[in-house]
Structure 1
Amino acid sequence: MSRRAAAGPWLALAAVLLLGGAALYQLTAGLSAWTLDQRRETRIARQTLRLPALDVRNQHGRPLRLFGAGGAAGPGPAVHIVDFIYTRCPTVCRALGAEFAQLSRQVEADGMAGRIGLVSLSFDPRDTVGDLLGYAGTYQARAPGWQVAAAAPDAMADLLHQAEVIAIADGLGGFEHNGGLHVVDAGGRVLSVHPLEDFQQAYAAALAHARGARP
């Protein structure tokens, strides 16, 4: 057997190990995170977690582009507070709606309308414009300050994947999903994520960014 033939299996193994190592490095955010939550936290801390530009329709059926320049929505707010909902949700989404209603009033009281925007994104392909309008009506969500919106299923699935947001059908017509509040700049960069109960911290983070960002 020639030396070249003998070396063949070892070269193939080295290539596999190299590719596997590269994949592991990427999946663990540079070997610094070993769970999905840790990886997501690492990406947020490094400000490498982004929401892609997303074409949606809001509660009035108006087309908008979120998290990207040059969309139908115009320049838009300097920062958004974003949550992920579905209108049939009987638990988490109701709590989020109540919190966003309070935040909406706070944005107005602080004179930050137009600088801080609220976005509730439905990931349920069953949600129609009428469903979005019904959810908006329940919590007095008024556009453009608070957009209740949905995108095409493929586009929403891509955003959930890129943002590492979990929404899993529970087999009973609903979803298991997290209730995090995402503070996102105008370009889609996720600045911070806050648990449901820490919505005031999410607002404080958005307020600090909006006041520091250029108009």
Structure 2
Amino acid sequence: MSKQNNYSYIGIAFIILVFGIIFVPRIIDRITKGDITRQESRSDYAEEKKAVDSKLSDLAFIESFGEKRKVPDFSFTNQHGKTITNKDFEGRVYVVEFFFTTCPTICPRMNVNLVKIQNEFKDFENFGVASFTINPDYDTPEVLKAYADNYGITNPNWHLMTGDKEAIYNLANKGFYIYAGENKDAEGGFEHSGNFALIDKNGFIRSRIEDGNPIVYYRGITSEDEQVNDEGEREQISILKEDIKKLLNE
């Protein structure tokens, strides 16, 4: 081997040595810092997720076909003649009912209970009620306004709504699975459920779990004072109040 070749190998070895001394520690340092950053990022994400999860109450999300059920899009006219959509309730916890103003049976009891709930949460700007009439031909905004005044409905986020009958019935029967329909043989000409649905700030239908399953809806007819209805079922207004508080705190 010639001296020239020896010098070439020595030169290359020297360059590699210099490179190792100068640049390798920098590369290692960057990799280490990068790993720390990624670890910190993963740690931050885990903490944020834990914080979000800890804010959720023990109330169940109601599911259909494996998906959490949300309030369907709707657009109706309230007692003040204003168009109200589901977006007007975003960021609010609210109770849903279907009723009609000339109802001679369960509606008055339902709305007396709702007014008591309204009064309990009068200091919460993010609480509301959505009342949909199932007799929109008669229940005009003016009629709904008089009804609201008569019952002492004062919460600005309590909207009594009227509009297209088919759209309301679809919302009740297909959107919430809360039965509503016309029946000439029923008192008042209509029949409907006396149940309330509870909605969280993100528009999801929620309820408490009893005996391992969500109750889905809350009985709205029996008052706290009555305690038990004619069928021996306990009132659920008190637990509805408790669960509204849970959702307000989420």
TM normalised by structure 2 equals: 0.59
C-alpha distance in 1 between matches for 2:67 and 2:198: 11
| Structure 2 counterpart of 1:120, one-letter code | S
Counterpart check, 1:116 vs 2:154: no
Instruction: Determine the structure 2 residue equivalent to 1:163.
Output: 176
Number of residue-to-residue matches in the alignment? 162
Q: Could you say if the C-alpha distance between residues 42 and 50 of structure 1 is closer, same or farther in structure 2, counting changes exceeding 3 Å?
A: closer
Counterpart check, 1:86 vs 2:100: yes
Instruction: Please state how far the C-alpha of 1:132 moved relative to its aligned partner.
Output: 0.8
Instruction: Determine the structure 2 residue equivalent to 1:7.
Output: none
| Structure 2 counterpart of 1:52, one-letter code | P
Gaps spanning 5+ residues in structure 1: where? 1-40
Instruction: Determine the structure 2 residue equivalent to 1:148.
Output: 160
Choose which of 115, 136, 139 in structure 2 pairs with 1:125: 136
Q: Could you say if the C-alpha distance between residues 155 and 169 of structure 1 is closer, same or farther in structure 2, counting changes exceeding 3 Å?
A: closer
In the TM superposition, 1:1-215 aligns within 5 A as 43=63, 48-66=68-86, 68=87, 73=88, 76-108=90-122, 111-112=123-124, 114-126=125-137, 127-160=139-172, 161-172=174-185, 173-192=188-207, 193-196=217-220, 197=222, 198-212=236-250
C-alpha distance in 2 between matches for 1:91 and 1:100: 16
Paired residues of 1:116 and 1:207 also in contact (CA < 8 A): no
Instruction: Give secondary structure in 2 for the equivalent of 1:151.
Output: coil
Instruction: Give secondary structure in 1 for the equivalent of 2:249.
Output: helix
Instruction: Please state how far the C-alpha of 1:102 moved relative to its aligned partner.
Output: 0.8
1:93-116 alpha-carbon deviations (Å, 9 max, x no partner): 1001111111111011xx32x221
C-alpha distance in 2 between matches for 1:156 and 1:188: 18
1:24-52 alpha-carbon deviations (Å, 9 max, x no partner): xxxxxxxxxxxxxxxxx9748x7733321
TM normalised by structure 1 equals: 0.67
Instruction: Please state how far the C-alpha of 1:77 moved relative to its aligned partner.
Output: 4.4
Instruction: Please state how far the C-alpha of 1:186 moved relative to its aligned partner.
Output: 3.6
CA-based RMSD of the aligned residues comes to: 2.3
Instruction: Please state how far the C-alpha of 1:204 moved relative to its aligned partner.
Output: 1.5
Instruction: Please state how far the C-alpha of 1:59 moved relative to its aligned partner.
Output: 0.8
- Report the more deviating stretch, 77-86 or 140-149: 140-149
Gaps spanning 5+ residues in structure 2: where? 1-60, 208-216, 223-235
Paired residues of 1:54 and 1:65 also in contact (CA < 8 A): yes
Task: Please identify runs of 4+ aligned residues in structure 1 that moved more than 6 A.
Answer: none
Instruction: Please state how far the C-alpha of 1:83 moved relative to its aligned partner.
Output: 1.1
